[in-house]
Amino acid sequence: MLGPIQVAVGFVVGIMLAYALYFSVFNIFYKEGERVPLGGLKILYFTERHSNHVRFATMTLILLFSMLCTSVASLVQCVGGAAVAIVVMLSLFSHWCDAAHKLEHDTTKGDLSVAFRFVWDYIAMPGLFGLAGSTVDFGAIFTKDFFGSGITCVLTGLAVRFVVSALTPFLFRMPFSFRELIFTGIGSLGKGPLQAVFAGIPLLNVNEQHGSANPTNLTGRSYEEDVRYAETLQNSTILSMLVACLLCSTLLSVFSQKLLRHDAPCSLSGDQMEIISNGEDCPPTSRCTAGRGPDITTRQN
């Protein structure tokens, strides 16, 4: 009986949140900006700065509504209803944007699609990969007793790994540029938390040692202390996977094209470079690599 009630309540809450989201975006956020004419036309457009403001504000509002549904549902133990409410909210908001057939509605929907695709590919998916199959208590990671020291330890380890990975090609005299060394260091961050696969082994060993017919205490600590220590190790490894995967995927997606851009040398003289800058063809039999790709040779017909 609880399942149908969750679905019904989720539909009602989702409709209410969808209307609140739609009203906030198009009757509050967009009304704050001043419209400007474009090209002498009577059609008025918003500035790019205000469009970016609306996009970030809308994303923040969607995340707040989603977190509100999830938090309240977890308190009353009906998380399924929260999932239904979030899906209904986003579906109705998208449908109302399509039904409006206005420029700001289409722009908002397109910008949100691109933004959430980035969030899903480079933040949500690595995070789900880190939590999939783990028996960790997610709430225990963000307690004040653990999170501060845990995140400090993880960031310190990732910084050391970045420095070592970036300096290794340089120390072995590999022909890497500075940008390629930085790319090597960033790429190694995602491989750092591979030990998170074995996060549950310390806790499993503690239970086997103390739960057998002839319990053995190799650490000299009590069973409760060993369990807390094993849980700390487990939480640390899961936290390292979450931070490293998110950090590595985001940095690679943002900086890969810049770090791997190769500036090819040019064998032309100053006069020949001036000819090319004026839009003329390369001189005959000249080997030019300036802005035209590597190994381009021009000949007279």
Q: DSSP characters for 55-120? A: HHHHHHHHHHHHHHHHHHHHHHT-HHHHHHHHHHHHHHHHHHHHHH--HHHHHHHHHHHHHHHHHI
Whether residue 52 is found in the same domain as residue 126: yes
Whether residue 220 is found in the same domain as residue 275: no
Q: What's at 204, amino acid-wise?
A: L
Whether residue 237 is found in the same domain as residue 187: yes
Last residue of a domain, one of 103, 131, 159: 131
Lowest mean pLDDT of 92-96, 140-144, 159-163, 229-233, name the range: 140-144
SS3 49: helix
Last residue of a domain, one of 98, 131, 164: 131
Position 277 pLDDT exceeds 50: no
**For range 94-114, the mean pLDDT:** 85
Whether residue 219 is found in the same domain as residue 276: no
Whether residue 179 is found in the same domain as residue 296: no
> How would residue 91 be classed by pLDDT, with cut points 50, 70 and 90?
very high
Whether residue 38 is found in the same domain as residue 120: yes
pLDDT digits (tens, 9 = 90+) for 31-45: 776 666 666 655 566
Give the Cα separation of 13 and 250 in Å (integer). Answer: 33
pLDDT of residue 112: 87
209 is in which domain, residue-wise? 138-259
Whether residue 82 is found in the same domain as residue 162: no
Predicted TM-score (pTM) of this structure = 0.60
Whether residue 227 is found in the same domain as residue 169: yes
More confident residue, 296 or 139: 139
Total domains in the fold of the chain: 3
Of 157, 130, 126, which is closest to residue 239 (Cα–Cα)? 130
Distances (CA, A) of 235 to 50, 75, 112, 219: 41, 23, 33, 20
Sign of CA dihedral 248, 254, 256, 260: negative
Last residue of a domain, one of 113, 131, 149: 131
Position 10 pLDDT exceeds 80: yes
Question: Which secondary-structure segment (H or E) carries 36?
Answer: strand 36-37
> How would residue 253 be classed by pLDDT, with cut points 50, 70 and 90?
confident
CB 154 within 8 A of CB 236: yes
Lowest mean pLDDT of 135-139, 215-219, 243-247, name the range: 215-219
Give 184's contacts (C-beta < 8 A, 6+ positions apart).
165, 166, 168, 169, 176
Whether residue 267 is found in the same domain as residue 244: no
Whether residue 95 is found in the same domain as residue 60: yes
Whether residue 77 is found in the same domain as residue 107: yes
- Residue 31: other Cβ atoms inside 10 A: 7
**For range 76-89, the mean pLDDT:** 87
pLDDT of residue 212: 58
Whether residue 59 is found in the same domain as residue 175: no
- 95 phi and psi, to 5 degrees? -65, -40
Size of the chain in residues? 301
